[in-house]
Structure 1
Amino acid sequence: MRPVSVAGIGKTAFGAFPDRDLKSLAVEAITSCLTDAGVGPEAVQAFYLGNFDGPSFTSQNHLAPYVAGAAGISGVPATRFEAACASGGSAFFHAFHAVASGLYERVLVCGVEKMTSQTTARVADILAGAGDAQTESSVGATFPAIFAMIARRHMFEYGTTREQLAAVAVKNHYNASLNPQAHLRKVITMEQALNGKPVAEPFTIYDCSLVSDGAAAILISSAEDSIRVAACAQASGPVALADRSTITSFAATQIAAHKAYAQAGITPRQVQVAEVHDCFTIAELIAMEDLGFVEAGQSGPWVASGATALSGELPVNTSGGLKAKGHPVGATGVAQLCDLVLQMRGQAGARQVKVANLALAQNLGGSGATSVVTILRKP
């Protein structure tokens, strides 16, 4: 396995953009990434696209060459990867191994989703397709309901409180308020988080991520640049909650994390900054436990103590996370990496953390059936 480095990054703002289409969003991110890397489209040897369900959201299929061609990338393999909300992370996982194995010198990964072209009800229906159709979506269980069940069980098993869930939202909204590319740059109070519009018990609207448009891109290469991809691992588990022995942890994340830590030769306690998949507030708490940052059941008190704030022991979701930065599904996994690179370069502005030499991203698909864990290191 050869060393793999980050050559360039690029992102659009995340938000609701009625006048933008999927192609224009992707091209903006790709162009920004190539400019950042100081190369042109001709330098790309393979193009990997992370996208969950562009065909349903936009009625456009065959998306990888559709996007690549619009960005001036032609004549190279162009492939779309779908792994629900982990589509971007999965595309990056395969790109990393393609470069590390010597197959290519430079691979461009783009994640994109255009979601706001559909009604909220239709978006919920499309997203439900990432769950189990037979036992969940066919009986009306959308993802807010599924993660609400997970939250209730976590509360039952460990004593996790609504205030601890709300602490995740308050922290991530504050971080997003400092992020000029975030969808919802709005500071909220604990009282607002607890008393927001009910969605699915125990969730209010402030426990749930956003329906967003956006794109992100990252170019990786075999050149030994300043930020290395120390590890990238992907794992899977049962799609349906009914097929699991527990719903308060995700085996896919635990397996992917174990592999990634072994590849990088580090322990969880060495990580200095992280972007994790907070599609719902409970998902961030479970990620803290599955990644080994704290013991099972301890993430609620840990987050409530301020340990994961910008100035805390381990800053988590300094971008604002999916909760407030936004969650254009296919773009999320790639955007997490871009945000970590900004931290590692010292370019995160008002949300810059003190030390960011070892960073981790966790990108989750569905209700935990896919998980991608990536570790970045500054030599």
Structure 2
Amino acid sequence: MGEKVYVLGAGSTKYGKLSESIIEIALNASKDAIDSAGITPKDVKAGYISNVFGVADKQVHMAPVIMSNLGIPEVPGLTIESACGSGSVMFREAFANVSAGFYDCVLALGVEKVTHTSTVESTTLFSYCSDFFYEGGNGASFPGLFGSMARAYLATYKATEEDLARVAVKNHENGLLNPKAHVRKKITVDDVLKSPVVASPLKLYDCCPFSDGASAVILCNEEFAKKSGKPYIEIVGSGRGASPASVQSRKDITTIPSTVEAARQAYKMANLSPKDIDFVEVHDCFTIAELIDIEDLGFFPKGTAAQAVREGRTKLNSDITVNPSGGLKSKGHPIGATGVGQVVEVYEQFTNKAGDRTVKDAEIAMTHNFGATGASAAVHIFKKIK
């Protein structure tokens, strides 16, 4: 472990259907993060950008374009893709470079714009993130793959479709408290169960929306943070894991190995355990994912997450607050931005900017973000600076 690394500032656009170009969205979030940190673009020594579908906006090699538009064309930028986990994988690279002493201050930005494409085009683009030879190319979409995981989970453990629905209801309750969430709508278990079937047992309200949006944070070393005079939070744990790319290659499809390994690394680095975490932002692309996530991260024994949700133990200010932002399900899922948006939520929670969704007395938080069906994952742990 090298130098300590801090999140000094954070910014985010609203998530949803946005009219601005992908570069404009990126610049809006970047400017908010830079202003939040009390710095200028000239203080940024490198830019890390996470994006998956820039080709849909006719813009790949995006990082230099963003750096140039920020007025710092001489600052090196790097664009990173890791499917839906791009934001957290990119964040880890930014963290590692500051920790290694290469830079004292960097911009970590995630951005996506996909709602302007047709459903057929966007679904096709998404399918390229799976193992296309085995999955996407044979018609196995992500709803279908997660539907298979859900069916296996319901068949193996004491869980029901109502339990899946309760995950959606809880995340929508939190999303109502988030002014930047994509789907701010109160729903009931009955609403979820009566919504159209997408890939049985998953219904429409079990699935997160396609979203546009951007989120950005400023990472820096200790000297830079202390000089700033602005509030900051510490990154105390970081981990990355991998799983077989195709679901059919896994021994057990009710767990995601990449999550388990990334969490193990992050806990070890932070010298903490699941019981130390006050709240967690997890990758709930589908309701089944949240149940699997909170078991794989160690918050509940295998097969018991559904009962925990049933008992309200994952609600705001309960045993372990899960997705206070509303999660992907309600806050939205702008693919490249999602993992960074989770960090923005932690920063806002720890700097008294979360409003009505504040997790009381929280001091330690975790973010968890994976790509595709969990082929790649990253987990980070954060500590509030008192």
Give your verdict on TM over 0.5: yes
Mapped contact 1:58–1:117 kept (Cα < 8 A): no
In the TM superposition, what are the counterparts of 1:156-175 in structure 2 within 5 Å? 156-175=155-174
Mapped contact 2:107–2:219 kept (Cα < 8 A): yes
**Residue identity matched to 1:103:** F
CA drift at 1:327: 0.2
Mapped contact 1:9–1:217 kept (Cα < 8 A): yes
Mapped contact 1:111–1:331 kept (Cα < 8 A): yes
Q: Partner residue of 1:30? A: 30
In the TM superposition, what are the counterparts of 1:170-209 in structure 2 within 5 Å? 170-209=169-208
Is 1:49 the counterpart of 2:55? The answer is: no
Q: Deviations over 1:150-188 (max 9, x none)?
A: 000011111221011001000001111111000011000
In the TM superposition, what are the counterparts of 1:293-332 in structure 2 within 5 Å? 293-332=299-338
Gaps of 5+ in 2: 227-231
Q: Partner residue of 2:229? A: none
Which secondary structure state, in structure 2, belongs to the residue aligned with residue 215 of structure 1? strand
**Residue identity matched to 2:352:** G
Q: Partner residue of 2:126? A: 127
- Partners of 1:264 and 1:328 in 2: CA distance: 29
Q: Partner residue of 2:365? A: 359
Which secondary structure state, in structure 1, belongs to the residue aligned with residue 339 of structure 2? helix
Which secondary structure state, in structure 2, belongs to the residue aligned with residue 84 of structure 1? coil
Gaps of 5+ in 1: none
Q: Partner residue of 1:102? A: 101
Which secondary structure state, in structure 1, belongs to the residue aligned with residue 369 of structure 2? strand
CA drift at 1:107: 1.2
Mapped contact 2:53–2:113 kept (Cα < 8 A): no
Q: Partner residue of 2:381? A: 375
The answer to which of 151-160 and 26-35 deviates more is: 151-160
Which secondary structure state, in structure 2, belongs to the residue aligned with residue 364 of structure 1? strand
Q: Deviations over 1:56-90 (max 9, x none)?
A: x2121111111221222321210000000011111
- Partners of 1:102 and 1:175 in 2: CA distance: 38
Is 1:246 the counterpart of 2:245? The answer is: no
- Partners of 1:377 and 1:50 in 2: CA distance: 24
CA RMSD of aligned residues (A): 0.9
In the TM superposition, what are the counterparts of 1:258-277 in structure 2 within 5 Å? 258-277=264-283
Q: Partner residue of 2:287? A: 281
Is 1:40 the counterpart of 2:36? The answer is: no
Q: Partner residue of 2:60? A: 61
Q: Deviations over 1:213-259 (max 9, x none)?
A: 00000001002554100011111121101211111101100000000
CA drift at 1:103: 1.1
**Residue identity matched to 2:163:** Q
Is 1:213 the counterpart of 2:219? The answer is: no
Dislocated runs of 4+, deviation >3 Å:
none
- Partners of 2:100 and 2:329 in 1: CA distance: 35
Q: Partner residue of 1:344? A: 350
- Partners of 1:68 and 1:285 in 2: CA distance: 39
Q: Partner residue of 1:227? A: 233
The TM-score normalised by the length of structure 2 is: 0.96
Which secondary structure state, in structure 2, belongs to the residue aligned with residue 20 of structure 1? coil
Equivalent pairs, count = 377
- Partners of 1:114 and 1:23 in 2: CA distance: 9
The answer to which of 45-54 and 59-68 deviates more is: 59-68
The answer to which of 218-227 and 345-354 deviates more is: 218-227
- Partners of 2:240 and 2:370 in 1: CA distance: 10
- Partners of 1:185 and 1:249 in 2: CA distance: 30
**Residue identity matched to 2:382:** L
Q: Partner residue of 1:86? A: 85
- Partners of 1:337 and 1:126 in 2: CA distance: 26
Which secondary structure state, in structure 1, belongs to the residue aligned with residue 171 of structure 2? helix
**Residue identity matched to 2:125:** I
